[in-house]
Amino acid sequence: MNYKVLSIEKNKNKYKVVIEKAGEKISLTVSEDIILDFRLLKDKELTEKEYKNLVESINRDKYYQKLLYYANYKPRTAHEAKNYLDKFDIDEKAKHYYLNKLEEIQLLNDDLYVRNYIYEYSHYRLIGPKKIIYELRRKGISPTLINKHINDYKADLIYRNIVKLVEKKAKSIKSKPFKKTIQLIKSYIVNKGYDFNLVQTVINDQIDLINEFVNEEKALDKDIEKYYTKYKKSKQKSSFKNYVVPKLLNKGYQYGKILKILEGDKYGEN
């Protein structure tokens, strides 16, 4: 007894297929891929073997549809897609088949992925080469493929990105000791994947820019006032100058600027 397709109705991105066998109606939900693979049409008849293959394919196809959604959600590497399939109870042959299908329709393309990733993270996210290489390796990209495209991240762009990050970080720090500001800027940029020595060079080149945003005097005034309050409460025998200078030097303030404030009218007698 053959199986006959009674109707095919599309519901969003799925299809409802109703099949009849000996008066019994069987309702199946299938993907467009199944419709095309089995050339399902209204009134088409399937043999027992064809129907069995159809049911087996539907069961396997649900994992392919999951993978398809996963890869469509955002760009993925072949390694990431393979790891995603490993979460399901699927044989290796099926996994290989699904991954090949995505490669055929260009949803998986590691070469294109690497090119686009390097461009986005270098031009828009201002991430340095070291971190880009690390993240691509973590995503399962081979060193050979990374090396093929990382040279697209030119030295002049690296330099410009570091300058932008210097300005961005200097603006956010505002009132801190100058030495501390430099340390924070350096650490911030190195952690974004840039070479330490190059970061140091760019910071030295941009000292004037950093000085535009750093208000060390304001920070120093604030810290001295804070320590002066503590000093008064502590009733120490040593002078305020001897008490506070080591603390301020440890914070990174310049000795000359410290003395200039301490020798003023407010603290001059202490």
pLDDT in the model for residue 265: 61
pLDDT of residue 148 exceeding 80, the answer is yes
In whole angstroms, give the CA distance from residue 107 to residue 75. Answer: 8
If pLDDT is split at 50, 70 and 90, which confidence band does 126 have? very high
Specify which of 59-63, 64-68, 97-101, 147-151 reaches the highest per-range mean pLDDT: 147-151
pLDDT in the model for residue 242: 83
pLDDT in tens, 231-240: 888 877 788 8
8 Å CB contact between 138 and 172: no
pLDDT of residue 163 exceeding 90, the answer is yes
If pLDDT is split at 50, 70 and 90, which confidence band does 133 have? very high
pLDDT of residue 180 exceeding 90, the answer is no
**Residue 86: in which H helix or E strand, if any?**
none
Residues 6+ apart with CB under 8 A from 62: none
Residue 133's Cβ-side half-sphere holds a number of Cα atoms within 13 Å equal to 16
For CA atoms 76, 82, 83, 84, the dihedral sign is positive
pLDDT in the model for residue 131: 97
pLDDT of residue 150 exceeding 80, the answer is yes
Residue 43 burial (CB count, 10 A): 8
Q: Exposure string (b/e) for 77-101, b if CB count within 10 Å is 16 or more? A: bbebbbebbeeeebeeeebeebbee
pLDDT in the model for residue 269: 54
Alpha-carbon Rg of the chain, whole angstroms?
Answer: 33
In whole angstroms, give the CA distance from residue 7 to residue 16. Answer: 8
Residues 6+ apart with CB under 8 A from 50: 3, 38
pLDDT in the model for residue 227: 84
pLDDT of residue 119 exceeding 90, the answer is yes
- Calculate mean pLDDT across residues 17-40: 87
If pLDDT is split at 50, 70 and 90, which confidence band does 216 have? confident
pLDDT of residue 268 exceeding 60, the answer is no
Residues 6+ apart with CB under 8 A from 205: none
The mean pLDDT of the chain is 88
DSSP for 239-254, please give it: -HHHHHHHHHHHHT--
Q: Return the DSSP state at 57.
A: H
Average the pLDDT over each of 25-29, 185-189, 243-247 and give the range with the smallest value. Answer: 243-247
| Sequence letter at residue 235 | K
In whole angstroms, give the CA distance from residue 217 to residue 258. Answer: 9
| DSSP helix/strand/coil, 6 | strand
- Calculate mean pLDDT across residues 190-212: 93
In whole angstroms, give the CA distance from residue 33 to residue 261. Answer: 78
8 Å CB contact between 41 and 5: yes
pLDDT above 70 coverage of the chain, percent = 97
